[in-house]
A and B are shown apart, each in its own frame.
Chain A
Amino acid sequence: MNGLERVATALQMKEADRVPVAPLVCGATHRVAGISYEEWARGGNVEAMVQGHLDTAKLIDHDGFCMLIDLSVEAGDFGMEVIYPLNDTPHPNYDNNFLKGPEDYKKIQRINPRKGGRMKTVIDMVGGLSKQVGGTHAIVGFVYGSIGILSMMRGPENFFMDLMEYPDEVLAAIEVVDDVLIDYAKAQAEAGAHTVCVDHLYCSQSILSKPLWEKFEGPSIKKICDAIRGAGALVSLHNCGNGIYFDMSEKWANPVAISHAYLADDVTTWEEQKTKWGSKMTTIGWMAPGPVAMLGTPDEIEEEVKAEIGAMAKGGGFILSTGCEFPPNSPLWNAKHIVDCAKKHGVYSK
C-alpha cells in the first residue's frame, strides 16, 4: 500500500497493511527547503515550499502532508499585521490589532483567497504537491475557523469578552469571514487536497462553554464543511485543546477524522475514547509535541508509539501523528523515528 491508500483505509475504519503515520511536519520543512523560517512562512516561494515537503518525505517517509503554514495566514490576508521572526513562528502583532474596538468588526471585507496573499500560497502549495504526489500521499488542506481568525484580529482577550458583550457585531463579522473561508476551502479541494482540515480550536473546555461555541461557530463550521464535501473532498478537523466537544464536532461538522492532542470532554481514557468515538471518526494523533516529539529520547518515543497504537489502532480509524504541529525547531530525526517506530510496531496481522 502507498501512503494515500493506507490513510484512506484507516479513514474507512479498516485496517491497512500498517498504521498510517504522519507527524504534522509543517514549519520544520523550511530547514529541508533551505530557506529561513521567515522566507518560508511569508509564502513567496511556493516552489521551495513544495520541494521542502517532498524532500522531507524522502527523509522521514511519512504517509501524508499537512498544508498548515501558521494560524495567522487568514487573519493576515484580512488585514491583521503579522510579524515574521527570522527563526520562529509568525504571529499577529497584538499591539496593533486590526479590530481595535467592537465597532471595527464591520471593517472586515470579503476578499478573494485565490487572488493573492498567503491563502493563495496554501492553495498553490496544495496544487504543487497534488501534481507530484497526489496519487501516493494524503494531502491535507488547512483552514483556521472563523472565530479563531477573528480572535487573532481583535486580540483573544478582547474577542472572548466581545462574544458576551457584543454578540451581534461578532456574528455579523463571522458571516463575512465564512464567505471567504468557504471559497478558500473549496479552492484547496479543487487544487487536489484529499481532505481539508478545519481548525476549531475553541470547541473545547480549554476556552468556551459548549453553548457559547455552538452559538458562534456551529453554523459557521457547518457551512464550510458542507462546501468542502460539495467540492469533493473529505472533512477533517484539528483541535489541540483539552476536553474537546466531539458531540458538537459531529453535530456541526460531521468529519471523517479529528486531529487532536487530548481526549473528548465526555471520556477519561484513550480506551474510552476508542470505544465511544473510535467507530465514528478517525483519530489523528496524539503524540505530545513538546515532551515527546521534541524532548523525547528514542526509547521514550518508541514507548509512546507502542502505547498509542495499542490503545487506538485496532480495527483502523487511527493515524499516528503529533497532537499538534511537529515543533518547527525540533530535530527531524525525531519525526523520522516516530515513522520508523510506527512501521515497526504498527503492522496489522491479517
Chain B
Amino acid sequence: MTNEREQELIKRLQEAVINYKPADAKKAAEEAIAEGADAYKMTMEGLAGGMEVVSEKFDTHEYFVPETLLCAKALYAALDLLKPFIKVQEGTVRGQVVLGVMQGDVHDLGKNIIKAIFEASGWTVHDLGRDVPLKKFVEEQMKTDSDIVMLSAMMTTSMVGIKKLIPMIKEKNPKVKIMIGGAPITDKTVSEYGADVTADNAPNALKEAMKMLDALRKGKM
C-alpha cells in the first residue's frame, strides 16, 4: 500500500468519526483490511485521531451528547472490523481499566462515552455495565490486573457505595488507581472516599488516566 493511500484511508476514518457517518467508517475499514493496511495505525491515527477532534468539539460545546454518541457509533462501526487485525506492538499498549456504574444506578450514558474514547485511544476497557454489585468490581480488577478502576454514580444513593467499595479494592491491590465520576461527585468526595481522582467529562478522564498510568509505569505512585 502506498503512503498516499494509507493517508487517504486514515483521513476517511477520521472524517467518518468526526461527521458521525457509520457507513463511511465501515467502508473505509473494509477497504483498509482488504488492502492489508496496518490495522493498529488505522485505529490510532484514523479512529482515535477523529475521536480526539470530537473530544475537542465536546469540550468547546460545539458537540453535545447526541453528536458524541453518533461519533462513537461511527467509531465502533470501524473498530469492530479492525480489532481482529490489530497486532499488539511492544510499547504501544496503553492501560487497562475496569469501568462500571455503581449498584442501584442505571445512568450509563457518561460511562459509555468514556468507554468509546478510551477504546479509541488504545486502552483495554473491561466494561461491567450498569447497576454493578460491589464485589464484581473487585473480582474483575483481580482477574484482569487492570491499572485503574473507574466508578460512575449519578445519584447520591449510589454514590455512597463508592465509599465502601474503595477499601475493598485497595485491600486486594493497594496499587490500583481509582477514578470516580458523575453528577454528585466533587473533589471533596474524592478525598472523603479515598479515591485518587475525578474528572468532569470523558476527555478529562482520559487525560487523568494517562497521567496516572504514566506515573504507575514509572513507579511513582
Contact = CB atoms under 8 A, between A and B. Distances in A.
B66 interface: yes
A331 B159 CA distance: 15
B159 A290 contact: yes
Interface in A238-280: 240, 243
A289 B109 CA distance: 21
Contact of B66 (A205, A208, A290, A329): A208
Nearest to A293: B156
A157 interface: yes
A243 B201 CA distance: 14
A88 B154 CA distance: 13
Q: Which 9 A-B pairs have the closest CB atoms?
A: A290-B184, A327-B156, A160-B66, A291-B188, A291-B186, A88-B104, A209-B64, A207-B65, A290-B156
11 contacts: A94-B108, A160-B109, A161-B73, A205-B61, A207-B64, A208-B65, A289-B184, A290-B156, A291-B188, A294-B184, A327-B156
B156 A208 contact: no
A157 B155 contact: no
A29 to B, nearest CB: 15
A328 B156 CA distance: 8
B23 interface: no
Contact of A161 (B61, B66, B105, B155): B66
A135 interface: no
A160 B65 contact: yes
Nearest to B193: A295
Contacts of B108: 94, 157
A163 interface: yes
Interface in A199-254: 205-209, 212, 240, 243
B197 to A, nearest CB: 16
Contacts of B157: 88-89, 327-329
A163 B104 contact: no
A12 interface: no
A165 B22 CA distance: 12
Nearest to B104: A88
Contacts of A160: 65-66, 69, 109
B183 interface: yes
A329 B156 contact: yes
Contacts of A295: 188-189, 192
A160 B157 CA distance: 25
B183 A157 contact: no
Given A85-B104, A207-B64, A329-B156, A290 B69 contact: no
Interface string B144-172: 00000000000111111000000000000
Interface in A80-95: 85, 88-89, 91-92, 94
A89 B66 contact: no
B185 interface: yes
Contacts, number: 75
Interface string B54-89: 000000010011110110010000000000000000
A91 B107 CA distance: 9
Contacts of B67: 164, 209
Interface of A: 85, 88-89, 91-92, 94, 156-157, 160-161, 163-165, 205-209, 212, 240, 243, 288-291, 294-295, 327-330
A290 to B, nearest CB: 3
A330 to B, nearest CB: 7
Nearest to A93: B106
A266 to B, nearest CB: 12
B96 interface: no
B130 interface: yes
B65 to A, nearest CB: 5
Contacts of B160: 329
Nearest to A325: B156
A156 B130 CA distance: 13
A165 B188 CA distance: 40
Contacts of A91: 105-106
Nearest to B153: A290
A206 B66 CA distance: 11
Contacts of B130: 94
A160 B65 CA distance: 7
B112 interface: yes
A156 B192 contact: no
A167 to B, nearest CB: 11
Q: Which of B67, B104, B157, B192 has the most CB of A within 10 A?
A: B157
Contact of A212 (B66, B73, B155): B66
Contacts of B107: 156
Given A92-B106, A208-B64, A289 B69 contact: no
Given A156-B109, A164-B70, A294 B65 contact: no
Given A88-B157, A91-B106, A288 B69 contact: no
A288 B185 CA distance: 10
Nearest to B113: A157
